Structure 1
């Protein structure tokens, strides 16, 4: 099979996985609040919104295609390696139902390639990392403040819940804000799939946005159900006003970032907003803490995994350096083995102490 065709297949399959992750980020609040009761309808709406948003994502595509590593290094083979490193990480996360930032895994994969070439646009990379830290915190803060206001308003304005007309208005509002966020998802995240293709000059910008958007929307309907459940119902329950606040917060922040060409973790932004709403309403519950802990672990691990995968693929297929790869694998096995050994020792000491045999 021609390597160019292989690059297209991997990129568009990756776009489908991005659509799956974006479903939870964009329509999780609407689904969790009950504005949309059927999962398929939620995935269908976010797919359409993401497709339209993708058509406006050229600035972020430019960043992914040439803003992290020099464009001259991105050949067809390198584009495939970038996409493989990111796709592997994202597909695994979707399979276990954890909302994952596609921006993190793609930038991580780009960094792995850049390390192999010993060439990175460090200043651009620093800006991206800084936004990854700041934007979710801002989302949490905005959502927390909005949540406090909603908590004071809802008990006083009882007509919002009792009057059928107002309930329909709120339902329409949360769906509309979800569509805004799905638009933001397409605008920011389509670059993660097609950016390497544009960087390698395998496809024009217009074609990249069109086909990337199509497969993004398709992925929402095919792969998105597990992630939708996690973000919509397993973190915290949302009222219609709360769901609108979450989607408005996430969507507006991501659209602003997209205008400046910055790939940001949409799922982190939305999940942070959901947690902000939950914290303003009743503090951190045990269920939310457990889900949040699991998601944070994946967020931290995902870019590291994609760095390692893409760097390893570069060593094998581009540099033909199996010796360095062997050393990497050996060090990884030794590290994992040491961590596991320490865990077993700690567990054994705890068991001894609990059994009354310790000092």
Structure 2
């Protein structure tokens, strides 16, 4: 028989997983739903399937780290497990309240650190590795985004197009006894390739989310003395994800933009691929890290790289007074095509049901580095500095608050 505290821990774990599923489904499948490639129900089903795959495979390594390596598994009594999950859920509530993508992983680790400090069992060497990864991972995401934005993105943006269909990409012929799916007849071969790319990368993001987030929901309940085995923990986490994916995620799928960026579909695919890959690698290594932090860092790097094309590296290194100063800021990726060539639809366009400008039949060549003027930052800015400051503050503040708030609680419990 499970104790009341164990049942309370499972209930809190379901609440945490419910919120993770609701928010992560929108992040992963917002572009695919907004561009009418998949329906909300299909997006929820795909998210749950690939999140389960990520949690069942790579996610086990993160669960092992958070359930027995940061502190010994014996420290997770029913009372301390409920407390850790409570602080994790509180972080989700605060981030949702302020509309800021605070890191659930970092906050969950912060609560476990509070437990380790109170019990004197914290694995300091492992925490040094984890904190180092929290610093390096965003820098790697930023650097990859910067290189792609400066040297690759303009060429991809010139040749890769995405269409917002008036009807869903996959239609159902209900004339017969059994409905038969068929591809939207308005889709060109280029649209088919681009659309499949959007859906495939959304599934990859779901895999990464499952790999990194399953531990946040169930790690304290798994291991020696815990009420759940690893397999049961993964199944519980994914079931909670599913509950959020098919309920509150319907709203997040509609709100596919945010106050950081008006992000084109192409750019969203790049940052999803970069952020998802960084987190998948860390999850494979058993290091809990934030998908939101890595993805946002890639967004910033991509914008900086795009804007930096206005000058060569030599011009940056040797500024002179006889030429105008180049303003290298996170610029508007929506203006990233060559002059008079509109960019593809942005996530904000999709959310507002706006139709992007038609692409001209003859696209001009992409200007060389140093020959392109600074992007027009006033029309649609990629990056809102005020929002960025709030986000970075929350990234640092939430795990720090988790440590300082949990330490006295665990001191009393222990």
- TM-score (norm: length of structure 2): 0.69
Question: In the alignment, is residue 303 of structure 1 matched against residue 328 of structure 2?
Answer: no
5 Å-filtered alignment, 1:8-27, equals 8-27=10-29
State the partner residue of 2:47. 46
Structure 1 residues 136, 231: closer, same or farther in 2, change over 3 A?
A: farther
- State the alpha-carbon separation in 1 of the partners of residues 78 and 62 from structure 2: 20
Q: Residue 202 of structure 1 aligns to a residue in which SS? A: coil
Question: Which of 1 and 2 has greater Rg?
Answer: 2
The answer as to whether partners of 2:91 and 2:104 remain within 8 angstroms in 1 is no
Q: How many residues align structurally?
A: 316
1:127 is displaced (CA, Å) by 0.6
The answer as to whether partners of 1:84 and 1:310 remain within 8 angstroms in 2 is no
More helix as a share of residues: 1
The answer as to whether partners of 2:263 and 2:382 remain within 8 angstroms in 1 is no
The answer as to whether partners of 1:24 and 1:227 remain within 8 angstroms in 2 is yes
- State the alpha-carbon separation in 2 of the partners of residues 94 and 222 from structure 1: 16
- State the alpha-carbon separation in 2 of the partners of residues 2 and 63 from structure 1: 26
- State the alpha-carbon separation in 2 of the partners of residues 276 and 174 from structure 1: 21
Deviations 1:242-299 (A, max 9, x none): 2221121112221111111111111101111222223333442485222211211111
Deviations 1:60-98 (A, max 9, x none): 110000111122221111111111111112122123322
State the partner residue of 1:350. none
- State the alpha-carbon separation in 2 of the partners of residues 134 and 297 from structure 1: 18
State the partner residue of 2:347. none
1:275 to 277, 281, 300: 300
Question: In the alignment, is residue 260 of structure 1 matched against residue 356 of structure 2?
Answer: no
- Structure 1 window deviating more from structure 2 (126-135 vs 234-243): it is 234-243
- State the alpha-carbon separation in 2 of the partners of residues 309 and 38 from structure 1: 41
Question: In the alignment, is residue 83 of structure 1 matched against residue 107 of structure 2?
Answer: no
1:169 to 165, 184, 193: 193
The answer as to whether partners of 1:24 and 1:267 remain within 8 angstroms in 2 is no
State the partner residue of 1:185. 209
Q: Residue 51 of structure 1 aligns to a residue in which SS? A: helix
State the partner residue of 1:314. 410
Q: Residue 226 of structure 2 aligns to a residue in which SS? A: coil
State the partner residue of 1:250. 275
5 Å-filtered alignment, 1:193-204, equals 193-199=217-223, 200-204=225-229
The answer as to whether partners of 2:17 and 2:214 remain within 8 angstroms in 1 is yes
1:225 is displaced (CA, Å) by 6.2
State the partner residue of 1:290. 386
The RMSD of aligned alpha carbons is 2.7
Structure 1 residues 252, 295: closer, same or farther in 2, change over 3 A?
A: same
1:150 is displaced (CA, Å) by 1.9
Question: In the alignment, is residue 144 of structure 1 matched against residue 146 of structure 2?
Answer: yes
State the partner residue of 1:347. none
Structure with the larger RCO, 1 or 2 (CA within 8 Å, 6+ apart) = 1
- Structure 1 window deviating more from structure 2 (273-282 vs 184-193): it is 273-282
Deviations 1:165-206 (A, max 9, x none): 212311220221121011011012101111110134211111
Q: Residue 102 of structure 2 aligns to a residue in which SS? A: coil
- TM-score (norm: length of structure 1): 0.79
Structure 1 residues 105, 125: closer, same or farther in 2, change over 3 A?
A: same
State the partner residue of 2:173. none
Unaligned runs of 5+ residues in structure 1 are 320-359
Structure 1 residues 153, 186: closer, same or farther in 2, change over 3 A?
A: closer
5 Å-filtered alignment, 1:95-106, equals 95-106=97-108
1:133 is displaced (CA, Å) by 0.8
